[in-house]
Structure 1
Amino acid sequence: MTTIADKPDYSLYSNAFGYLRQPLDFKPLDSDADVVVIGLPFDMATTGRAGGRMGPGAIRQASVNLAWEDVRWPWDFKLSQHLKIVDAGDLVYTCGDSADFTQRVEEFATAVVESGKAMLSLGGDHFMTLPLLRAHYKQHGKMALLHFDAHTDTYSQGSKYDHGTMFFHAPNEGIIDAGRSIQVGIRTEYDQKNHLFKVIDAATANELTVNEIVAQIKERVGDMPLYVTFDIDCLDPAYAPGTGTPVCGGLTSDKAMKIIRGLRGMNIVGMDVVEVTPAYDSAEITALAGATLGLEMLHVWACAHKGA
């Protein structure tokens, strides 16, 4: 008799709960994991279409399509031989309480990072990156930020909990060095005269080669600890329709993945993929893009920290 414990190679979709089919571990601090995946099901700070709280689950489900390859193309090593990953599930917080969410994210992330583990966080709207940055700062000090997005999220106007204000607050709190940070894919209004970040806007990024973009990123960031945040609306809606604030004219998923791969050798200390909104997705292509970008980040992290 075949039981639930049997795991033949062909059972691709059976019991696929964790990201990349990795085990769920609700006590990740007690594990020997190198990287902890956490879902942050929050969308109360969104100014566009709601539904990002369902993003972590959609990314996990789409990730089963990536889990069958021993060696992920075009990488030349097996990730599992260099990196142990656990999925800590979704953060639990008081429903409807943005302050409680913010506090719990920072507390959880602080504990994980101080234990010597890295994090890949799945969102959820982009506001979640602010408490994540606060937690990473406690361990790594001031960081550079590599921010993929259609929007700068540096707007000073807005509520205390707003997915468009994180990168106004983070430099003012001394968490990130805007002078060493860079934003890629921007194609909405911002104050270009007084903007603190270097910007490679989407139109420019679509004209430049991947190597030219990566060279600008590395020149800007140098050897600073680097936090990478990827808002899925950096991609053109043709490649990521399932998001709250889609903007035409974005990057292709291919170009975005190649840029991520080009970060090999950089001192990445934290990673997130945000703003996947599955209610507006088509054929899971947005969720799959988010899952794949996360996997590329893990390969790059393994190269820098595990000698892959």
Structure 2
Amino acid sequence: MTQLNQPLSGNTVPRFGGIATMMRLPIQETAAKLDAAFVGIPMDIGTSNRPGTRMGPRQIRDESRMLRPYNMATRAAPFDSLQVADIGDVPINTFNLPKNLDIITSFYDDVLAHGCTPLTMGGDHTLTWPLLRAIAKKHGPVGLIHIDAHADVNEDMFGEKVAHGCPFRRAQEEGLLDSERVVQIGLRGTGYAADDFDWCREQGFRVVPAEECWYKSLEPLMAEVREQMGDGPVYISYDIDSLDPSVAPGTGTVEAGGLAMSQGLEIIRGAWGLNIVGGDLVEVAPPYDPSGNTALMGATLLYEMLCILPGVKRRD
């Protein structure tokens, strides 16, 4: 049996030393022979307010040094179960956002061709649209668990169809989503029009505003989401601005009244048992994250996504 990759232990090399990979995992140039891979997309030219998410993948990797291999809460042992590595960053075009659509899709076509499940560090939320193009080629239209302060279904932004406020409208228009298996959790804030969230509901999406999440456990909600998703393929897209800015200030479009980190964990852990075919964590902007806590929350959520992938064993 092939020896499974393990994160570099903090008892072998100090956590502040070594190369900054996700969880200090080995680096590979491709997804060959991997069951799951962490990928960075250092892009922020799709942002509409504060830039900085191009630095997100690097900071997430750095802060992930605090994460250890075993999940003590769920007893998941991902590195005893799957071959995992960090395969670096998508070579995006810094100056041409539309061109990045094909660059990203092509990169993930190759990852998926190896039978590898991608977990992506963003980068702005524009990236999820071309990523879903690759996912849908392999799996067909997917169910979506989308955690975000914003619906990201704008018709356009400043007349442009490609922007971080538009990815899920584009994905729905292209038939990449199984619309009866889409749930959006944490939406909140002010709107440009009174019916801003109605387009989502008209498509068949389930919309769970942040106010419906306040002061409660989300375990009951996730039991309903698991039933809604069934056995079909499911993609998770997690915008860090879904969390309250008191928890995660380092992002470009903060909104008051967000989710608690414990609720974020409940959402991801509550997707265990689903046919997860990929996930992303987007919109970490290090310039507004002086403590590094936003990036650490992002790294933690990505680790939790790894822990719920099919094939991950849980210790007795």
Scaled by the length of structure 2, the TM-score of the pair is 0.89
CA distance in 2, matches of 1:177, 1:10: 45
* 1:210 equivalent in structure 2: 218
CA distance in 1, matches of 2:292, 2:111: 30
* 1:79 equivalent in structure 2: 78
**Aligned pairs (5 A) from 1:47-196:** 47-66=48-67, 69-158=68-157, 159-188=160-189, 189=191, 190-195=195-200, 196=203
Q: Evaluate the alpha carbon distance shift between residue 194 and residue 54 of structure 1 in structure 2; reply closer, same or farther with a 3 A threshold.
A: closer
- Please state how far the C-alpha of 1:23 moved relative to its aligned partner: 1.0
CA distance in 2, matches of 1:147, 1:92: 25
Q: Evaluate the alpha carbon distance shift between residue 34 and residue 184 of structure 1 in structure 2; reply closer, same or farther with a 3 A threshold.
A: same
Structure 2: unaligned runs, 5 residues or longer: 1-9
* 1:25 equivalent in structure 2: 28
- Please state how far the C-alpha of 1:220 moved relative to its aligned partner: 2.5
1:178 counterpart SS class = strand
**Aligned pairs (5 A) from 1:246-285:** 246-285=254-293
* 2:19 equivalent in structure 1: 16
Q: Do the aligned partners of 2:31 and 2:116 also contact (CA within 8 Å) in 1?
A: no
Alignment RMSD (CA, Å): 1.6
2:213 counterpart SS class = helix
- Please state how far the C-alpha of 1:10 moved relative to its aligned partner: 4.7
Q: Larger helix proportion, structure 1 or 2?
A: 1
> Could you tell me which amino acid in structure 2 is paired with residue 19 of structure 1?
M
Residues 40-84 of structure 1, C-alpha deviation per residue, up to 9 Å, x if partnerless?
000111111000000000100000011xx3422213243211122
- Please state how far the C-alpha of 1:255 moved relative to its aligned partner: 1.2
The answer on 1:239 being equivalent to 2:261 is: no
Q: Do the aligned partners of 2:77 and 2:307 also contact (CA within 8 Å) in 1?
A: no
Q: Do the aligned partners of 1:148 and 1:231 also contact (CA within 8 Å) in 2?
A: yes
Q: Do the aligned partners of 1:205 and 1:213 also contact (CA within 8 Å) in 2?
A: no
Query: Percent identity among equivalent residues?
Result: 36
- Please state how far the C-alpha of 1:97 moved relative to its aligned partner: 1.6
- Please state how far the C-alpha of 1:306 moved relative to its aligned partner: 4.0
Scaled by the length of structure 1, the TM-score of the pair is 0.92
> Could you tell me which amino acid in structure 1 is paired with residue 12 of structure 2?
D
* 1:200 equivalent in structure 2: 208
1:120 counterpart SS class = strand
In the alignment of these two chains, the number of paired residues is 296
* 2:299 equivalent in structure 1: 291
2:180 counterpart SS class = helix
CA distance in 2, matches of 1:237, 1:127: 21
- Please state how far the C-alpha of 1:86 moved relative to its aligned partner: 1.1
- Please state how far the C-alpha of 1:9 moved relative to its aligned partner: 1.9
Q: Do the aligned partners of 2:22 and 2:61 also contact (CA within 8 Å) in 1?
A: yes
CA distance in 2, matches of 1:15, 1:207: 41
1:160 counterpart SS class = coil
CA distance in 2, matches of 1:145, 1:21: 29
